[in-house]
Structure 1
Amino acid sequence: MKLLTKVNRCFWDDIPILKRSGGFCFFLALSIFITGSFYSKTALANTNDIELPKGAKIVNGNINIESNQNQLKIIQSTQQGIINWNSFNIGKNASVHFQQPNAAASTLNRVTSATPSSIFGSLTANGQIFLLNPSGVYFGAGARVNVGSLIASTQSMSNEDFLNQHFLFNQTDLNGEIINAGSIIGDQVAMVSPRFTNLGDITAKSGDVVIASGDKVKLAITQNQSIAVELDASQVANLIDNQGTINAQGNIVFKADAMQSIVDQTIKLPQSANMMVSDNGTVRLVTNTGSVKATNVAMDAGALGGTYNNGMIDVSQENFQGGNISLTGQEVKVASLSKLNASGSTGGGSILIGGDWQGQGDTPQATYTVIEKGATLDASATDLGDGGTIVAWSDIHDPLSETFVGGNFIAHGGFYGGNGGQIETSGYNLKANDILVDTTANGGREGLWLLDPADFTVAASGGNTTGNTISTQLATTNVEILSTNGTSSDSAKGLILINDSISWSADTQLTLNAMGPIFINESITATGTGAGSRLQLKYGQASPASGNTSFYSIARSPSTSLFTASINLPSGTGRLVTKQGYDGTEQSFYSITSKAELLSNITGTVSGNFVLGANINSVGTWTSAILGSSGTLDGLGHSINNLSGTNNSFFSTAAGTIQNLGLSGTKYCYSNCGGFAGIGQAGLVIRNSYNAINVTQGGNNLGGLVGEATGVKVLDSSNIGNITSSWTNNQWFGGIFGMDKGGNEIRRSWNTGTIESTGGRYMIGGLIGQKNSNTMSYIYDSYNTGTVTGNVFIGGLVGEVQGNLTIQGSYNSGTVTNYSSSSSRGGLVGGMRSLGGNTADLTVIDSYWNSKANNPQGANDSNYHVTNSSYLSDMNTVSNYSPFSTSNIWSNSSAPPTLDAMAAINAYSYTSNLTEVTFTINDWADLTYGTSIDLSNFLSDSSLFSLSSSNLDTLFSANPTFGLYSNNTLTTFSDNIPDAGSYTIRSSGGTLNSGFLVSYINGALTINPKALT
């Protein structure tokens, strides 16, 4: 065998009956390299112009054979017949005709010599013709085949199987191939061979065309002219390559599969003979660069092979709904010259590339899917009907899967009526930058473009797609970004990050559908005036609504607190719709874009849902409203500016939700006064918001955010306004709360404003003026950098603690000054006093302060608990902020640290001051059925598990239990004797002691069947 290392010219080019084709040359070169078996130049050249089949032996049936110089007539009177031939060649001036009883009659023609069949002339029949030649079958450029049905194969079939219509083809050692360069016409056509190339024309007038390549292939031919196919993976190098034209009234199926050893062998070929291996290392088993037209087309390269299309596939219908196109394999590539048409006058069909919608059904899922720029996929309704479905998919649950999409995806609604279709481009790793999507509908609704990777980032570069791409498609289709949750073994969290601006003016909807949270770091702007122009935010969709902590957030600068992004919406009802949790209730919001709308809607008791679609400026004197427990005001990254008045908080009392909102202005306050609420009641949540209102004079209970708080949560929020007062008898000033009445939580929040009382009073704190309740409150991951000044009980974070308070992972770097004794001044807390006979209790963990002030006044060892906290000798040294320097929620690019803009993302993996322990359950040696297994005393046998640190006695206050799981289901057995099979050993339950975080690595157990005796 001679290795072809350079293919400049086919060695059969000088044979005039062959068409020249570069792909054909390559295919033969690849075949020769792998198998060394194909027709020799001599074998093809020696076929004379009037040659006929020779050496007939009738094996079964009533058959007569008549011949003259260049004509052969086979007359068969039985329904089935079998003829073994020494050779089956037809010269270009010769003809062979089979006369059969009817169209359902069949004749099996088997070539028993090692000579390939060369057909250059005419082959006709009124019934079914089977032509089997393990050495190969070649239909030359002038070949004319017109039969009832043609089944050609280079594989073997037994006489018994044929006579029983059990059409099972088995691979032989000769590994011949089939090439068609002529014209083949039949009611139905099937080609079964390890390698098939079409350079000519194949037409199935009333049925299917099936091209199959496998080790074993089974065909089932039905009375309605359809052909069903099943196959096993091939043990030889296989390839289906269409460079010509194939038309079928029914379906066209290309189906190939290869075993891993053959894939590995092909991948190792020299590059010159290895053009059929993609960049991903996938062997392309099915290729189409020609033209294919049918009712439905399926091309499948199996679990290890690749399908490549750079030609036309047409399943369009003039008077019906469009047909179905399915391209599947480990890799599927639709190259730039591809035209895939599934349009239909009454509705669009479907185009499935690498999988079905959201991976549903039994369509095989690809690992790599590529749609190149320039390709066109069209599933439109042309007259009256809905657009169809187009899917470009790779396995969303496989971290190695990749989907890269460009090209034109079209699923119009009908010209005379109908809705647009649905288009999906999904994969664990997804890139969609050179794509144009159009689902417009003249008389109906636009369709949908769905994008679904594990996590999704819209970015100018480096993301899954760009803001410009999303903006462009919103002109013609609704867009939904869905972030599937990923797998338990990787870092995907189902996030959606908008890092590039998006804008559109059409009457279409953008939906962000996240399994986890949504982070909007660049602006989203909708300017359409139609009812359909809106934004939908679904978050935390991996979990039920109850207990769901996911959210959506608008980016702010940690240094200035101001928003760096916003959601801009037109005025009106339903412009924003949100849903938290997969079983949550959709919430519809009214968008406010003017001062007049603000004054008319945020008045009295607010119980509905409102958003700001734009900044509201020059508001002036404000009359406080009441925010009911069911009310929500979401600023969407906007601010209400130039507020003024006397003793007026934005809400006098509040128990609902305030988020993504900024306030600015100047006012006087007497008592119970805060930027957002004078009195914060249980249930009030303030999230990702800031107050920049300056209080120039004030009395009691003055807070940057809330005057007096009970059961309030403040998350990712800040005060940058100043609270200063020279009035006498004023007290309880704080950057977040003036008075904390218990049950409150401040998390990832900060104050940079000046908190100052020069009137000689007390209880002034950077975050809280006074904690005044025996009900516990918490400060987590928060800080103060503003100046805090007062007389007595002055603290960097809290002025005075009466009752119970925990401070963790927080710091003060602001100056703390008091006008009297320094004993009432503290770097974190100014003082502690009992309340109602109960001693105040203060716990400080992982927290720091810049002033070497005394401990809080009134503190003693029984009520002041400090862990891993200290002074900071140099506030400009980041390393002094341990554990801040290793925490994922702090930005340490400068000192003192600030909360990272992505703190809420990183908080998933942040645990302060906990010892992390890995509990590994050891894999057990294989056991035999009949062995009793009792896991109730698992922890008593240290050989069954190992710990990365610590010891078992200190980990648990209540021990976990252990069990055997099969297919994720806990399995129980009588007499503790499990059935034969494979099991996972898992833990469940258990209560950890404080200070520990334990992760488990499951073990494995195999129970082998007991030997029969």
Structure 2
Amino acid sequence: MTNRTSQRIAVGSRWRGFSRSQRMFCAFLASLQLLLPSVVVALPTDGIVVGGHAEIQQISPTQLTIQQTTDRAILNWQSFSIGANETVRFDQPSINSIALNRVTGVDPSVILGSLQANGRIFLLNPNGILFGVGAQINVGGLLATTLQIRDDDFMAGRFLFAQDPLKGLKSVVNQGTIHASDHGFVVLVAPGVSNEGMIVANLGKVVLGSGQALTVDLMGDGLIKYALSGKVLDHVMGVDGKPLSSAVSNTGTIQADGGHVILQAKASGDIFSSVVNQSGVIRARSLENQGGVVQLLGGDETLVAATEAGAMRPAGDVSGAVVNTDRIDVAAGEPNAARGSVTMVGARVGQFGSIMATGAEGANGGEVVIASTTRTLLASGSTIDVSGSGHSSGGQLRVWSDQDTFFDAGAAILARGGELGGKGGFVELSGKENLGYAGSVNALAPFGSAGTLLLDPRNITIAAAGAAYNPGVNNLFGNTPAVDVTISAGSINAAAANVVLQANNDITVGSAINMANAGVGIAMQAGRDINVNAAITTNNGNISLTANDSSAIAANRLAGTGDIVFGVAGANLSAGTGNIDLTIDSSAAAPFNPGSITTVRNLTTTTGNITLNSRNTVSLSGAVNAGSGTVSINANSDGALAQGFTMNAGSSIATTNIGVNAVSINVNGAAGGTGAVSLRNITTGAGGTLAIATNVGGNLTGGAISQVAGTTLNVGTAALSTGSASADITLSQATNNFGTVSVSRARNVTLRDANALALGPSTIFGNMAVTAGDSVTQTGALSSTGGASTLTVTTLNNAGALITLTNPNNNFANINLNARNAANTANTAGAIAYRDLNGVNAAQIRTASTVDLTAGGAITDSGTLVGSTLTARTLNNAGAAITLDTATNDFATINLQSRNAADTADANGAIAYRDTNGFDVAAARTLNTVTLTGGGRSPIPARSPVPL
């Protein structure tokens, strides 16, 4: 075709009445005329079809039509511009057809009129492309680039574009309106790209990319995949001849509801003030089955996990600043919409505007990921909202920097549950080196559980006034000299989400925390120590402290043991109906080194449970009061060490819980552990169990269990175990009050109770001594494997208290049973009954009432037996003797019987009895001899058998 008469653009000199964008455009055109006098705005010129089939038709002076008859066609043009009120139309075989338009001349393309196509248009001009104000682009899909492609690659479907090394670095700019069909695409790629107008590609993809190479994959559904490469290392000139300040910039509006919007720059941060500048509006509302996606990428998009909680860090090559100062919207546009997502990645990332990723009914809040290698800033005035709506839950926000993250005062994060239901969302703010936290987070849920706020720098100090980062206007990403992060207690107190503080090294509570919102808790996780130097109080929210946390980054954890230390009096924890959990992670892989929980101050809940877990020592220095909750203490939990559990002066444990787990104390979680337990005042509800074991790991070396003088154990049931043949249990304070005590595997056991006591199933290696202020009974067998073991039971009660131990499986070598007055100066009328599986020796029995002894073997004495009536019975088929011949025995009546095991017939066991006084014989049954001696007389042998 022949050239039309060109028309140069004239720009008036009067500015009054022009908008800012119009004035900028006019200035651009004026500079364009001065810098590039040959540039004209007219229809495309000198078109030649060099691939495929197409016909170029000039319909009128203002209209050009290209009739394309093959799915791919290549047209070379000397120039490709469209003036205002001019139209270029491509008629293509289908929406998937592509017309590649290559400019071979020296002029940039200036599109001011209308470009129409029912298929896809590729526009390639190494001199730059401008879609000016008033331009109307309506196509199935558009790729506009300054990069080049080989004809044979294009025709073969290999869409490989690259910068011409002989050409300068130029840009693609849109100031008009570009509209792609639903499921279509708009791809603007050059060393520099800017959108100042309107781009629409609903259900499709919009890409603004800076790079020197591009690979495109056109999929069958009309969508597009792409890959940028070739970092831009030099200044990029706009079509006005001036260097661009941003490699990729959006100051206009981009709409891709149900689709993807990607702003990506492969460019040096030293060349541009920002590699990606989002200062306009990006809308990619989420639809059902089509979540909206927005990505601002200052380099490679590859992300990898930075923390166990899910924060992501850049894994590829990133550089420069990525900034959002206006609005990004991926909110659910309808009920049941798929989750929207926003990603911002760069060397430095600044969030100044708003990001909306809210949900809808049946659609939870979206996901926002912000990650940098150097510095991440959520500036004052910025808002990120991933809240749910209706019955839906809040979404997720993860913010990370390999170095510094700052959340300024005046910045807001919302991750609320829906107003009708749903849970609060998850918010993580992490800085590998530093974290400044002064903004506000709200992840509450009116009808569901509150969400979580996780903070994750290297070191954290909580102080009355947190040192909030306060950058100057020109110091967007300035360095901060702080080594540690200081967070204001006030910002935690006002938290509207569960707060999680994660420090790779230490956390120090230096100012009291008093969280206001109901149900909102706090968790602290430190790679090394947690130092509690002030009180922590929640409004019925959980409190969790974990030191030596193995999820910390090892390279940022300093050497030393990981401890939880309560440094001063008043550093108390109170959680209301929430739980309190103190844990030393057992990980011992360097540099991790588990320490202890020491000098624990007051811990208080009303219904919540209290749990202390330590690989090493646990020591209490305050009152642990769980209300109706449970108390669980685990010391030396993973080590074959000597550390145990100690209650220091002023400490106590109390609960009204009546369950089997009311108070549990476990020591020595591994074989070989020898840690001991030292107790002070402990109280449970009626029937509540105090369970103490120093052999949790099944070892045979558990340490002793003891009680400090002047203290009281007031529990429903005690279950005690050391697992060791050399470790004793000594709970001997006169004010103790046990309902039932059971012992499993200990050497010697000493128990004292101010009241009645029931002995549960107990197996020991040595002696058992029990003293009670009232009756002593049993609910299970008592036995000792010691060959010379002794069971001593004494009741101290002026009215007389029973001793009833008649389980047929009892097994002690010796017994010492006494019913005495409270002063232990006289016998009282407390009946004594004892039964043994085997033979038994009575070392001493004292009462003013009856004594009943039954044994499966011989019954002997080695000390004085005193009472009113003595009944002694052996149950043994072979016959077992009864030999009670101590001269000081004293009973008024005796009943002695050698019987078979079923107690249905007499057996062949000799009977001998001696008394210091005279006595009555109620019965003496045996098939052997009976020898009775009384009142100091010589023994009187009786012929066998002699029934009396």
Aligned-pair Cα RMSD in Å? 4.7
Structure 1 partner of 2:374: 367
Letter in 2 for 1:202: I
Structure 2 partner of 1:870: none
Q: Does 1:252 align with 2:245?
A: no
Q: Does 1:61 align with 2:52?
A: yes
Candidates 327, 331, 341, aligned match of 2:357: 341
Unaligned runs of 5+ in 2: 1-10, 237-246, 285-291, 300-317, 468-483, 553-558, 589-593, 608-616, 627-632, 638-643, 654-664, 666-674, 683-701, 711-725, 729-948
Q: Does 1:455 align with 2:459?
A: yes
Structure 1 residues 682 and 570: alpha-carbon distance in aligned structure 2, compared to 1, 3 A threshold: same
Candidates 514, 519, 536, aligned match of 1:524: 536
Cα displacement (A) at 1:39: 4.3
Candidates 328, 337, 342, aligned match of 2:345: 328
Q: Does 1:411 align with 2:415?
A: yes
Q: Distance in 1 between matches of 2:727 and 2:494?
A: 45
Candidates 175, 178, 196, aligned match of 1:181: 175
Alignment of 1:571-582 (within 5 A): 574-582=579-587
Q: Distance in 2 between matches of 1:449 and 1:341?
A: 17
**What CA deviation, in whole Å up to 9, does each residue of 1:534-573 have, x standing for no partner?**
21111122399xx9953211223xxxxxx3x412315678
Cα displacement (A) at 1:367: 1.9
Alignment of 1:195-214 (within 5 A): 195-214=192-211
Letter in 1 for 2:446: N
Structure 2 partner of 1:288: 278
Contact 1:593 1:612 in 2 (8 A): no
Alignment of 1:809-828 (within 5 A): none
Structure 1 residues 300 and 519: alpha-carbon distance in aligned structure 2, compared to 1, 3 A threshold: same
Q: Does 1:215 align with 2:212?
A: yes
**What SS class does the counterpart of residue 579 from structure 2 fall into?**
strand
Q: Does 1:93 align with 2:74?
A: no
Structure 1 residues 543 and 412: alpha-carbon distance in aligned structure 2, compared to 1, 3 A threshold: closer
Candidates 242, 245, 248, aligned match of 1:240: 248
Q: Distance in 2 between matches of 1:12 and 1:130?
A: 33
Candidates 128, 133, 136, aligned match of 1:141: 133
Structure 2 partner of 1:464: 485
Structure 1 residues 106 and 639: alpha-carbon distance in aligned structure 2, compared to 1, 3 A threshold: same
**What SS class does the counterpart of residue 329 from structure 1 fall into?**
strand
Q: Distance in 2 between matches of 1:536 and 1:447?
A: 15
Give the structure-2-normalised TM-score.
0.54
Structure 1 partner of 2:112: 120
Structure 1 partner of 2:826: none
Letter in 1 for 2:235: A
Letter in 1 for 2:52: G
**What SS class does the counterpart of residue 522 from structure 1 fall into?**
coil
Alignment of 1:260-659 (within 5 A): 262-264=268-270, 266=271, 277=273, 284-294=274-284, 295-302=292-299, 303-317=318-332, 318-319=334-335, 320-335=337-352, 337-355=353-371, 365-395=372-402, 400-406=403-409, 407-459=411-463, 460-462=465-467, 464-474=485-495, 476-484=496-504, 494-505=505-516, 506-526=518-538, 528=539, 530=540, 533-542=541-550, 549-556=561-568, 563=569, 565-570=570-575, 574-582=579-587, 612=622, 655-656=676-677
Cα displacement (A) at 1:638: 8.2
Identity %: 28
Alignment of 1:707-856 (within 5 A): none
Cα displacement (A) at 1:420: 1.1
Alignment of 1:870-885 (within 5 A): none
**What SS class does the counterpart of residue 450 from structure 1 fall into?**
strand
Q: Distance in 2 between matches of 1:543 and 1:636?
A: 35
Cα displacement (A) at 1:517: 1.4
Letter in 1 for 2:433: N
Contact 2:621 2:650 in 1 (8 A): no
Cα displacement (A) at 1:227: 2.4
Q: Distance in 1 between matches of 2:634 and 2:79?
A: 93
Structure 2 partner of 1:805: none
Q: Distance in 2 between matches of 1:472 and 1:134?
A: 58
Q: Distance in 2 between matches of 1:451 and 1:58?
A: 61
Structure 2 partner of 1:79: 71
**What CA deviation, in whole Å up to 9, does each residue of 1:884-936 have, x standing for no partner?**
xxxxxxxxxxxxxxxxxxxxxxxxxxxxxxxxxxxxxxxxxxxxxxxxxxxxx
Candidates 103, 124, 149, aligned match of 2:95: 103
Contact 2:621 2:651 in 1 (8 A): no
**What CA deviation, in whole Å up to 9, does each residue of 1:670-693 have, x standing for no partner?**
xxxxxxxxxxx957999xxxx9x9
Cα displacement (A) at 1:632: 5.3
**What CA deviation, in whole Å up to 9, does each residue of 1:96-117 have, x standing for no partner?**
1100011011100011111011
339-348 or 178-187, larger mean C-alpha shift: 339-348
Cα displacement (A) at 1:610: 8.2
Structure 1 residues 315 and 286: alpha-carbon distance in aligned structure 2, compared to 1, 3 A threshold: same
Q: Distance in 2 between matches of 1:96 and 1:441?
A: 55
Q: Distance in 1 between matches of 2:64 and 2:391?
A: 53
Letter in 1 for 2:522: L
Contact 2:426 2:451 in 1 (8 A): yes
Letter in 2 for 1:471: I
Contact 1:403 1:426 in 2 (8 A): no
Cα displacement (A) at 1:380: 1.5
Contact 1:85 1:112 in 2 (8 A): yes
Contact 2:193 2:249 in 1 (8 A): yes
Contact 1:571 1:590 in 2 (8 A): no
Letter in 1 for 2:78: N
Q: Does 1:191 align with 2:196?
A: no
Q: Distance in 1 between matches of 2:596 and 2:448?
A: 24
**What SS class does the counterpart of residue 204 from structure 2 fall into?**
coil
Structure 1 residues 296 and 593: alpha-carbon distance in aligned structure 2, compared to 1, 3 A threshold: closer
Letter in 1 for 2:56: I
Unaligned runs of 5+ in 1: 1-10, 33-37, 267-275, 278-283, 356-364, 485-493, 557-562, 598-606, 617-625, 641-650, 662-680, 694-709, 713-1013
Letter in 2 for 1:82: I
Q: Distance in 2 between matches of 1:636 and 1:385?
A: 51
Structure 1 residues 634 and 538: alpha-carbon distance in aligned structure 2, compared to 1, 3 A threshold: farther
Q: Distance in 2 between matches of 1:93 and 1:82?
A: 26
Q: How many residue pairs were aligned?
A: 570
Cα displacement (A) at 1:439: 1.0
Q: Distance in 2 between matches of 1:55 and 1:17?
A: 39
Specify which structure has the higher proportion of helix: 1
**What SS class does the counterpart of residue 330 from structure 1 fall into?**
strand
Contact 2:281 2:327 in 1 (8 A): yes
Letter in 1 for 2:391: L
**What CA deviation, in whole Å up to 9, does each residue of 1:455-484 have, x standing for no partner?**
22222244624343443344x211111112
Cα displacement (A) at 1:525: 2.2
